[in-house]
């Protein structure tokens, strides 16, 4: 084959590839097709593998690691007793909170439905350039793109791409992740963004006079439309005035160990308007002005 022919073929292939790449950038057809096939196949293969790992791990913890179980049991009993005491102490506050919410007509944010999911793997394949994990829920089972994920300790990230039964999740440590937050105590708003898997997070656009302290909790503000309001996301590890802008330079760390995730919770949007409980029973004592229309003089 002559050099000229090779160059012509190579040029033709390059033009074809760039054409396909541009067409896919606008239509996303090939991305959707490959996501469906790739993630579904990976879920079908890795699901049983992960289940087998769990079975083996369970056998180990049940039969081999029995020595520590008794001590752990004692510790757990003590913890349960302590938690019961705390629950009893908090039940009065909780009841009061419910009453106040009804009185103030503050909608309880119950338009998010929690769903459990299992982590199948971390970054997989040579094209995994973003900081992601793969979970065993897809758009048919509650893991639509944009769905937020968390554990009992705090926020993890949100679903980036999904097939029917598997999905890729963009972790909050990825440099492309942006989360609208506010600080829990000082109520200063900002944008939390990642800097890579093993780097700390950064909070942008917090004014210098915000009074943010080290160790303060950062919770989602819900203003970005992706995350429900009030989810704990990260903890402040350093605060100092920025040398380059009129804002504070704040670094934070995730509350969750993102390198060792096993089970996660998805918050699926139900699409329903938040329901407000109607309190039909009259309050035992006077706590506010009466509702309109209930005044006997009218």
Residues of this chain that bind other proteins (CB under 8 A): 13, 17, 20-21, 24-25, 30-31, 33-42, 45-46, 49, 120-130, 132, 134, 160-161, 163, 168, 170, 175-176, 196-197
CB 259 → other proteins: shortest distance, Å?
Answer: 11
Tokens of 143: 């893991």
Please identify, using beta-carbon distances, which residue of 64 and 129 lies nearer to other proteins: 129
Report the DSSP pairing between strands 201-204 and 178-183: unpaired
Q: Which residues contact 227 (CB under 8 A, 6 or more apart)?
A: 148, 155, 158, 179, 180, 220, 267
Q: At closest approach, how far in Å is the CB of 3 from other proteins?
A: 14
Nearer to other proteins, 40 or 253 (CB): 40
- By CB neighbour count within 10 A (0-12 exposed, 13-18 middle, 19+ buried), where does 161 fall? buried
**By C-beta, is 102 or 197 nearer to other proteins?**
197
Question: 154 CB contacts (<8 Å, ≥6 apart)?
Answer: 231, 232, 233, 234, 254, 255, 256
Q: Which is nearer to other proteins, 45 or 55 (CB)?
A: 45
In the complex, least distance from residue 160 CB atom to other proteins, rounded to whole angstroms: 7
**Smallest gap from residue 25 Cβ to other proteins (A):** 6
* Closer of 122 and 222 to other proteins (Cβ): 122
Q: CA quadruple 41, 42, 48, 49: dihedral positive or negative? A: positive
Report the alpha-carbon distance of residue 134 to residue 160 in Å, rounded.
10
Residue 288 C-beta: closest distance to other proteins, Å: 52
């Amino acid at each position: 084959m002559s050099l000229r022919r090779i160059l012509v073929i190579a040029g033709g292939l390059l033009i074809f590839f760039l054409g396909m790449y541009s067409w896919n950038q606008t239509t996303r057809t090939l991305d959707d097709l490959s996501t469906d096939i790739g993630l579904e196949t990976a879920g079908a293969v890795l699901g049983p593998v992960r289940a087998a790992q769990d079975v083996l791990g369970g056998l180990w913890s049940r039969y081999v690691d029995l020595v520590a179980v008794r001590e752990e049991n004692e510790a757990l009993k003590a913890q349960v007793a302590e938690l019961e005491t705390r629950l009893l102490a908090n039940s009065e506050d909780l009841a009061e909170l419910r009453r106040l919410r009804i009185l103030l007509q503050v909608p309880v944010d119950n338009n998010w439905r929690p769903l459990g999911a299992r982590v199948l793997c971390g970054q997989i394949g040579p094209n995994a350039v973003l900081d992601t994990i793969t979970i065993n829920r897809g758009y048919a089972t509650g893991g639509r793109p944009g769905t937020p994920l968390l554990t009992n300790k705090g926020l993890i990230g949100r679903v980036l791409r999904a097939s029917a039964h598997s999905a890729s999740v963009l972790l909050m440590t990825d440099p492309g992740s942006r989360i609208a937050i506010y600080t829990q105590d000082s109520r200063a708003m900002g944008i939390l963004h990642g800097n890579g898997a093993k780097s700390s997070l950064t909070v942008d656009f917090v004014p210098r006079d915000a009074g943010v302290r080290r160790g303060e909790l950062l919770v989602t503000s819900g203003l970005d439309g992706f995350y429900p309001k009030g989810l704990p996301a990260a903890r402040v590890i350093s605060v100092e005035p920025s040398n380059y802008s009129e804002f504070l330079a704040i670094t934070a760390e995730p509350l969750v160990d993102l390198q060792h995730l096993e089970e996660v919770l998805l918050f699926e949007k139900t699409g329903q308007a938040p329901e407000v409980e109607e309190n039909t029973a009259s309050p035992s004592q006077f706590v506010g002005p009466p509702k309109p229309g209930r005044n006997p003089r009218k």
